[in-house]
Amino acid sequence: MDADARERWLEHSKAVLRGAGLRTSAGRTAVVDMLGRQSCLVTAQDIADRLRDEGSPGSTATIYRALETLHELGLVRRFDSGEGVARYEPVDPSGDHHHHVVLEDSGDVVPFADAELERAIEGLGERLGMRVTGHDVILRARRA
């Protein structure tokens, strides 16, 4: 997500939260604003650290509660890399999406998008005889 998309995400999210009857409270707002600035994957701990650094409110409890809410509303995506920590990232409201490659050397996670892969996944529902509502692809790779 580029700066524009992030801005759109922020507006969209605020609207959805308001629409859900939730209040514009300090803690959750700080979390949402923070996510609106980060398009890459962040852990709850990352968010906690950043908020503390900039003097924003947001206890651990609040951060987890906010992330849970955002996830339920489809505003963030939870990504379980398998190292025991959950990572989150904003969901582009335009529907664009990407997947992740875990680099075996560094452990870094980098996003990627691939049209052919999406095409293959699109056809899956019909081939399997079910309505596919979501998908995740995780690659493990090392630099060629």
> Rule CB under 7 A: which residues touch DNA?
21-29, 43-45, 57-62, 64-66, 68, 84-86
In the complex with DNA, the residue whose CB is nearer, 12 or 28, is 28
Among 20, 104, 106, 108, interactor with its own copies by CB under 8 A: 104
Mention every residue, 6+ apart, whose C-beta is less than 8 A from residue 30: 51, 56, 57, 58
Question: Would you count residue 132 as binding its own copies (CB under 8 A)?
Answer: yes
Structure tokens at 111: 């996003």
Question: Would you count residue 23 as binding its own copies (CB under 8 A)?
Answer: no
Question: Would you count residue 142 as binding its own copies (CB under 8 A)?
Answer: yes
How far apart, in Å, are the Cα atoms of 71 and each of 17, 33, 64, 108?
11, 15, 10, 23
**Exposed, middle or buried by CB within 10 Å (0-12, 13-18, 19+), for 77?**
middle
In the complex with DNA, the residue whose CB is nearer, 46 or 118, is 46
Question: Would you count residue 127 as binding its own copies (CB under 8 A)?
Answer: yes
Size of the site for its own copies (CB under 8 A): 35
14 in helix, strand or coil? helix
Question: Would you count residue 136 as binding its own copies (CB under 8 A)?
Answer: yes
